[in-house]
Structure 1
């Protein structure tokens, strides 16, 4: 298993506790939750039960078999109720035991009363037992509302919660040992940090061949993955797909999305909330501005969904005529445009890593892209990445370039001009991160200004 050291340490700490622990673990589909739990279970005294999309009686029977084999090495008969099964565990437990129920939402959907049964069991039976309970689920909305929410019987019973998130660019690079650093970033820009997607690429093949054979070709796992995931989670997938396509092609405000897909604005707003819950899109505001900012936009958070809706969903008929190889060549001609936004996110992840290792002049209180009016030039302006300290008096202005040519001097000047939109910031640093290096004039000016010039290789220097 790649990475996940922090997550495994979190589980180990709870397991090593000498009291009852209850962890709620969740995260979007394909993010690797089950892999983490399976590895944890292999190295501990654990009961690992993967719930299935079955009726309640069959899930209870499977659970009964598992716990009876664990404690008595024999299966007699299914328990009559979940309460009986859970009380049996409480009666049998002596040494530290982890009880793991994976995909708990499948049980809730068939038997909502399981929440009250568990609550009663915890309060009256397990609270003083040597048990570590883990409830895990891919339905983020159910885990957040039906398990941890205020109206849930289980509210406040958990002693810890853990959202499993996708890998960042550096963790994802471990999947591609044969790639150059540039290609590792390209792969991440296309696939994002979902382990199942990263595993689908073959690092012995070029990026172009992987796109052709692992995404565009009919029958490839990634070819239908976005459709399959949406169908597994949602109804009216055509509307959700249309919203994602609109965002992937540059419509970032609700009114623009609604106009593009010819749907009511209020309806679109509700669907966007659902897509946010699925961790597929996110709301962004200019760095340093409040959540209520009217400048907010929506972007696709998942790199692979961004790629798929930008290319395959929009051009599938055309690609079918071109063939997988031809389509892949066509996509590669535009890949630097896709990588523009992805590279800014990569640079943000890099800055976060530096901050965690205390390698920045300050810990950013605000970090993100900025856009808005620049009074100095009386026009709209933007900064690819802006880091501001808690006092609002120090900032790092960062330009991110993933182009095939060295960064020219006018780009350097543009960032200097953008800093004038922040007259209250007293200490300003200029950072540049460029895939293809810098022109001589940029290098000379950077020395005078003590600006920081970084390359792709620097992003891997940890």
Structure 2
């Protein structure tokens, strides 16, 4: 009964965490928080859990407090099999009744309760977290078999449930974020793992969001790289497709975002390569201090990711977390009137260079870093120590230039030991890599030596989506510290 349902793709870690929470043998009430951006399959996952274990599921809607209360009472009537409809005077009574159901069951016969789209309820019933906190505290001393899962997609709201002085702070035994599929899992889900070149392009546009394949596109999947362009024009770039406005909806759905124009400008700045705070501020015509709040909100919503320069702890770089938003800001937004009038083929025909530079190229670098976080660590040998994986800039004072390192693995120093660099890598999506790319990495390694880093075991990696020159292949054969990593390596082909 505890095994994952066959129809549930991947999500083994998430399923095991939820199952462990729901079946935990304890005599006190338990609280879990499940969050994640929309379209990740949270509801599908939780419904499968309720179907497998039994329990009460309530999906909130955008409604007033009174209407939601009636819906909640009706759902409880169906769950309990009450002969007459259950009617509550207020939400205080409803929550008291709900936890009372858990008090009637023993820990070995737990009552699973799932409240989905919880932010909708909080919006109309702000006191709800406090009411739940009161009952959670009460049933820490009194026996209860309730296992309450609160789920929602508004990341800023869900993240705030357990933050600082929030009522539910310190009350949760589970905090699960349902994330997009990794690039390899996404390729398998879309049935394109056999064609890594197509898989990268597809992932650069739609990422690892499960709902886009079945709910949005009804299993319309490109069958080859040659079929990618017409597929893109009839789906993402078509005004008749539900994906056409999806990037806009992702931003509009977040409760803390009011001035959508400002937030779109911030995302557009990052999508076009302005990945520092100063660069973003300059692009949108604001002072750096004026964009602190939008950057924080976008981070809280999991739409923007801030990454520390792996070589300079005081420097941060930003990237857009959702590939579809990057594609929208770089390709669709500048040509929106033409796309709305049905000129997808013409727009896309003029976007190849911009797609490679602003979408596929940066996304390929992200895939390479994800590779080094997972299977790629084996390339560094069995004695390799897990370190931080990231990117950064190496300043070459002698040559008066900055060397961009797309992929780096660094172990932080401690106990008098210097930080050790295990790998320096450069990633190129549409360029055949040559000896010149390797020479830049060699120079970066020399500079880091003078900068106080330990580089004795540092290997140099060239990641390419196109291929490698014959001269570079010969260098790799002669030098075991040089790694050439292509698409087939990234996808385990």
Whether these two folds match at TM > 0.5 is yes
CA 1:262/1:453 → structure 2, altered by over 3 Å: closer, same or farther?
Answer: closer
Paired with 2:152 and 2:394, the residues of 1 have a C-alpha distance of: 40
The alpha carbon displacement at 1:28 in A equals 1.9
2:133 aligned with 1:119: yes
1:249 to 257, 268, 272: 272
2:478 aligned with 1:448: yes
In the TM superposition, what are the counterparts of 1:182-331 in structure 2 within 5 Å? Answer: 182-199=197-214, 200=216, 202-204=220-222, 206-233=227-254, 234-290=257-313, 293=314, 295-319=315-339, 323-331=343-351
The alpha carbon displacement at 1:162 in A equals 1.1
Residue number in structure 1 paired with 2:147: 132
Paired with 2:443 and 2:287, the residues of 1 have a C-alpha distance of: 40
CA 1:364/1:287 → structure 2, altered by over 3 Å: closer, same or farther?
Answer: farther
Paired with 1:182 and 1:48, the residues of 2 have a C-alpha distance of: 42
Paired with 1:103 and 1:320, the residues of 2 have a C-alpha distance of: 32
The alpha carbon displacement at 1:260 in A equals 2.7
In the TM superposition, what are the counterparts of 1:73-112 in structure 2 within 5 Å? Answer: 73-92=82-101, 93-94=104-105, 95-112=109-126
| Equivalent position SS for 2:350 | helix
Paired residues, what number? 457
TM-score by length of 1: 0.92
The 10-residue stretch of structure 1 (17-26 or 226-235) with the greater mean CA deviation from structure 2:
226-235
CA 1:334/1:249 → structure 2, altered by over 3 Å: closer, same or farther?
Answer: closer
Residue number in structure 1 paired with 2:3: none
Paired with 1:398 and 1:240, the residues of 2 have a C-alpha distance of: 32
Q: Is the contact made by 1:245 and 1:314 (CA closer than 8 Å) also made in structure 2?
A: no
2:157 aligned with 1:142: yes
Q: Which has the higher helix share?
A: 1
* Cα deviations by residue, 1:98-128 (Å, 9 ceiling, x for unpaired): 1111111111111111122111111224762
The alpha carbon displacement at 1:242 in A equals 1.7
2:431 aligned with 1:431: no
Q: Is the contact made by 2:462 and 2:485 (CA closer than 8 Å) also made in structure 1?
A: yes
The alpha carbon displacement at 1:215 in A equals 1.4
Paired with 1:452 and 1:336, the residues of 2 have a C-alpha distance of: 24
The alpha carbon displacement at 1:356 in A equals 7.9
**Structure 2, unpaired ranges of 5+:** 1-7, 414-418
Residue number in structure 2 paired with 1:174: 188
Paired with 1:164 and 1:306, the residues of 2 have a C-alpha distance of: 21
Residue number in structure 1 paired with 2:355: 335
The 10-residue stretch of structure 1 (9-18 or 32-41) with the greater mean CA deviation from structure 2:
32-41
**Structure 1, unpaired ranges of 5+:** none
The alpha carbon displacement at 1:230 in A equals 2.1
1:419 to 445, 464, 483: 445
Paired with 1:37 and 1:148, the residues of 2 have a C-alpha distance of: 20
Paired with 1:309 and 1:434, the residues of 2 have a C-alpha distance of: 25
* Cα deviations by residue, 1:52-100 (Å, 9 ceiling, x for unpaired): 1111111122111222221225442322233333333344342322111
| Equivalent position SS for 1:427 | coil
Paired with 1:332 and 1:215, the residues of 2 have a C-alpha distance of: 15
- The CA RMSD measured in Å over matched residues stands at 2.3
| Equivalent position SS for 2:132 | helix
Residue number in structure 2 paired with 1:5: 12
TM-score by length of 2: 0.86
Residue number in structure 1 paired with 2:423: 396
Q: Is the contact made by 1:362 and 1:389 (CA closer than 8 Å) also made in structure 2?
A: no
The alpha carbon displacement at 1:266 in A equals 2.9
2:75 aligned with 1:66: yes
Q: Is the contact made by 2:239 and 2:340 (CA closer than 8 Å) also made in structure 1?
A: no
